[in-house]
Amino acid sequence: MILFAHSPWSQDLSNRDLFEATSRWDSQYDGLLINVNKRLSHHFSYGISYTWSKTIDDGPNPSFVLIPQDSQNFRAERALSSDDVRNRLVVNGTVTTPKEWNMFARDYQLGLIATIQSPMRFTKFAGFDANGDIFGNNDRVGIEPRNTFIGDNFRSVDFRLGRSFPFKERRSLEVLAEAFNLFNTTNIRFFNTVYGASDFCPFDPTAFGCPATPSTFREGSPNPNYGSPRAVFNPRQIQLALRFNF
């Protein structure tokens, strides 16, 4: 699909802006999944799931903001995907206390889910129209490929504690307390990847946007916010619940 936008005040084609939205992007996913589970027996169960994967594509989903620098050369855009997560490990376990124990210790259920994930990748942008094509949102720094900015690992532990109080046949009241991201780990979702210059200043101090005095910011960026967190995943969340089973 091709969309045209032009000013109603002029029929001059030189003043016409052309935007293109297309589904020509291509992606490739390779993965390995290893899953081990132990069903609940002897008051204990667990699960271990490990995924190794690699995702390569030549562009994100169609967007006016993240279109390729050269829409005629998609092959040059081919790189690790924004969705690439090389390693992901999820461990879960459940422990219950026997009904035969005394009234203060029986009928408890403890559950835990721990997740560890490799960093995701982001593209470094110049932050302005570095190549002079009147569209500056997609211009990268120098000849840098897509998605070379490596983020942080994701780490989270979820915990659940519950107790059941049976009072009639097939009827019970269950009290639940759940905590998501139990240790309140800061997991960064998006980074500020606007470098602020047309090339990396340590390698080309004369590049447009580079300061006269070398910067001490990350990778010599003139932008003090380059590499800083822009959005984070949820902090610790706690919820309490009652459930009636019948």
At residue 103, the pLDDT reads 84
For residue 12, count other CB atoms closer than 10 A to its CB. 9
In the predicted structure, residue 211 carries a pLDDT above the cut 90: yes
pLDDT band of residue 35 (cuts 50, 70, 90) is very high
Between the alpha carbon of residue 64 and those of residues 60, 91, 136, 149, 191, the distances in Å are 11, 39, 11, 21, 20
> What token pair was written down for 208?
């447009």
Specify the range with the lowest mean pLDDT, choosing from 48-57, 114-123, 126-135, 232-241.
126-135
In the predicted structure, residue 14 carries a pLDDT above the cut 70: no
Contacts 24+ apart (CB under 8 A), 101-108: 107/163, 107/164, 107/165, 107/166, 108/161, 108/162, 108/163
Section 200-229 average pLDDT: 95
In the predicted structure, residue 67 carries a pLDDT above the cut 70: no
pLDDT band of residue 58 (cuts 50, 70, 90) is confident
> What token pair was written down for 97?
């206390």
**pTM of the full predicted structure?**
0.80
Q: Which one has a higher pLDDT value, 8 or 27?
A: 27
In the predicted structure, residue 11 carries a pLDDT above the cut 80: no
Report for 2-6, 87-91, 126-130: range of highest mean pLDDT: 87-91
At residue 15, the pLDDT reads 53
Domain residue limits, the chain: 28-192+228-245
At residue 192, the pLDDT reads 96
In the predicted structure, residue 8 carries a pLDDT above the cut 80: no
In the predicted structure, residue 85 carries a pLDDT above the cut 60: yes
Burial class of residue 172 (count of CB atoms within 10 Å of its CB; 0-12, 13-18, 19+): middle
At residue 225, the pLDDT reads 96
Say how far apart CA 41 and CA 229 lie, in whole Å.
44
Section 235-243 average pLDDT: 95
99-148 pLDDT, tens digit each: 888 888 988 999 999 999 999 999 999 999 988 878 778 889 998 998 99
At residue 19, the pLDDT reads 56
Say how far apart CA 131 and CA 140 lie, in whole Å.
9
